[in-house]
Amino acid sequence: MSRVIGDITISLDGFVDGTGDGVEALHAWALASDDPVDAAELATVATAGAVVMGRGTFDVVDGPHGWQDGLGYGAREDARPPFFVVTREAPASVRLAATHDVSFVTGGPAAAVAAARRAADGADVYVMGGGATVGSFLAARLLDVLQLHVAPQVLGSGTRLFTGSAHRLVQRDVRVSRAAAHLTYEVLTPAP
């Protein structure tokens, strides 16, 4: 069975987004680094069998300044597995529909994971996006693995990934580049 992997970039002070210049620097490991460790991380996420994301993240990547040719899931890897967007309602139009397999799931996170697992056909399912999405999947015990890309940035404010629920994690891998520390944890809290 495929693993469900929460994959997110986070600042040293625990924020996944914020305001100002720090936010762009937060993702420099994926967008601008020439370090081979960062390239290997991007190549790994590009092997996803399917990807789940929240509606807020989808609206950004589908927007006019979002994913373009050569820049998409996995940053420069521009991977195009099936995408499942957790939302209350599908948007009226989708710019990426011509180039990406996008489905909208209104039944919540568990329904999105089930659909993504079917589409992934045994390959790993990645949950990407904002802290609210990845954090809610972690809180709902839907993640098997949590991958954190810790950028050397202190944002001071923004959206936190961890917001009050306790989780038991076991560190499985650490890779360090000049732009980020890539941490992989097995989530021991059993999935429902």
Residue 11, domain CATH? 3.40.430.10
Give 47-102 pLDDT, tens digit per residue: 999 999 999 888 888 888 878 777 777 777 777 889 999 999 999 888 888 878 88
| pLDDT, position 192 | 47
- E runs forming strands in the chain: 4-11, 15-17, 50-54, 83-86, 102-105, 125-128, 145-151, 159-160, 169-176, 181-187
Does 147 fall in a domain?
yes
Closest CA to 37 of 169, 144, 183, 187: 183
Q: Tokens 């993640």 identify what position?
A: 143
Structure tokens at 1: 């069975």
| pLDDT, position 190 | 52
| pLDDT, position 87 | 94
What total of structural domains would you count in the chain? 1
Does 192 fall in a domain?
no
Distances (CA, A) of 2 to 50, 97, 128: 10, 25, 16
Does 143 fall in a domain?
yes
Instruction: Please classify residue 42 by burial: count the beta carbons closer than 10 Å to its beta carbon, then call 0-12 exposed, 13-18 middle and 19+ buried.
Output: buried
Does 106 fall in a domain?
yes
Residue 41: which domain range?
4-187
Q: Is the pLDDT of residue 179 over 50?
A: yes
Structure tokens at 61: 């990547």
Give 101-156 pLDDT, tens digit per residue: 889 999 999 999 999 999 999 999 999 978 888 988 998 999 999 999 999 998 88
